[in-house]
Amino acid sequence: MFSIKMKLGNACFVVLLGLGFASCRQPESDTQRAVQPTDSVALLFPEERHLKNARQLTFEGDNAEAYWSFDNSKLVFQRTDHRQIRCDQIFVGAVRPLLQGDTSRFRYRMVSTGKGRTTCAFFLPGDTLLLYSSTHLEADTCPAVPDREKIGKYVWPIYNSYEIFVADLNGHIVRQLTRNSYYDAEATVSPRGDRIVFTSNRDGDLELYSMKLDGSDVRRLTHALGYDGGAWFSPDGSMIVWRASRPKKMEEKNSYRRLLKQGLVAPTQMEIWVAHADGSNARQVTHLGGANWAPVFTPDGKKILFSSNHRYKRGFPFDLFLIDLNGNNLEQVTFSGSFDSFPMFSYDGKYLVWCSNRHSADARSTNIFIAEWVP
């Protein structure tokens, strides 16, 4: 689930300006110095030593959750431009020519229906099919967004009309994987090509589930009260990493339950968790406070790359960080002073794709970037 005005996607989810907690400008109370690109056309900042030879792929609208095909030649992502596309739709574009030095612009086309709201797209093995969640069966129009001012806090909508579909690259839906009146979204596929992990509230809470590629053999993976979402598999498919809220005080638990009954969740306090792919041996990795989300394993499976606002009292900016699986050796990776999130490594481990507000003339524009990854 992912409404972007900056985004926090749900593997996906929703952000207003990089989580939408604050304006795009850096809060005056923040002590991190403002860094500048190394030259007028550079996309990277001097401190970003893990990235090189970056390229910006999109230049307008809200573009997020861009994820690689298994052969590393294409990206699938969701996009809103607030003019012709009222709420997120799914697009695919070829990136391989650009990685080989092609100087042309990134070209993409819509592969969702253009109806309802969509989120969380991911390629299936073979790269001729992809999955995504959509509300289009309930209505052609965009579902209503919550009145956050009236509610008094930043919340994400949990649309029970989201179902998970499989479509071909021409936009034809070939299969429906979920059929119920619950939230089913935030799906990603194991590199082994055998299972899908996703989030659903079908048992009364927002939990992780896995299923086969045809939608059969659904298994519940998490059981604790709180939001579990945005799960990813490790490179060998043996583990998963995800974001989770764990309300502890009775007041926090009651607030979580009240919002959930309204089809809402407040994503301001989330930490990173890991477990075996079957959900066993679950353990918390980060204890940072704030919103820690959009985690993925590094290509060697030894670290986690994730987005976080924990260094800023006002909840913005969002930076990318690395951390060991045991929670040690936290390292900041991006330094744009804006919004950096939705990372994914190419399957060969050579490139990183992520979404950012860096160098944007429009404060409400989130764009897709790729760069070579330097371990």
pLDDT at 25: 29
Return the ∠ at Cα 185 (arms to 1 and 284), rounded to 5°. 85
Residue 202 has phi, psi (to 5 degrees) of: -60, -20
- Residue 41: inside a domain: no
Q: Rounded distance, CA 260 to CA 240, Å?
A: 24
Q: List the one residue out of 116, 203, 208 whose CA is nearest residue 162.
A: 116
Q: Which amino acid is present at 236?
A: D
Average pLDDT, the chain: 89
- Residue 33: inside a domain: no
285 pLDDT band, cuts 50/70/90, is very high
- Residue 32: inside a domain: no
pLDDT at 37: 55
The boundaries of the domain holding residue 233 are 51-367
Model confidence at 35: pLDDT above 70 = no
pLDDT digits (tens, 9 = 90+) for 318-327: 999 999 999 9
- Residue 1: inside a domain: no
Residues 332, 292: contact at Cβ < 8 Å? no
State both tokens at 124: 């299936």
State both tokens at 192: 């082994």
Residues 109, 152: contact at Cβ < 8 Å? no
Return the sign of the alpha-carbon dihedral for residues 7, 9, 14, 19: negative
Residues 300, 312: contact at Cβ < 8 Å? no
Model confidence at 4: pLDDT above 90 = no
Give the total residue count for the chain.
Answer: 375
- Residue 60: inside a domain: yes
**Per the structure, how many domains does the chain have?**
1
pLDDT digits (tens, 9 = 90+) for 90-142: 999 999 888 888 888 999 999 999 999 999 999 999 999 999 999 999 999 99
Cα 342 to chain centroid distance, Å, stands at 5
Q: What is the CATH number of the domain that holds 58?
A: 2.120.10.30
- Residue 12: inside a domain: no
363 pLDDT band, cuts 50/70/90, is low
Please tell me the least confidently modeled range out of 25-29, 104-108, 342-346: 25-29
- Residue 16: inside a domain: no
The listed range with the strongest mean pLDDT (18-27, 34-43, 101-110, 172-181) is 172-181
- Residue 5: inside a domain: no
pLDDT digits (tens, 9 = 90+) for 193-236: 999 999 999 999 999 999 999 999 999 999 999 999 999 999 99
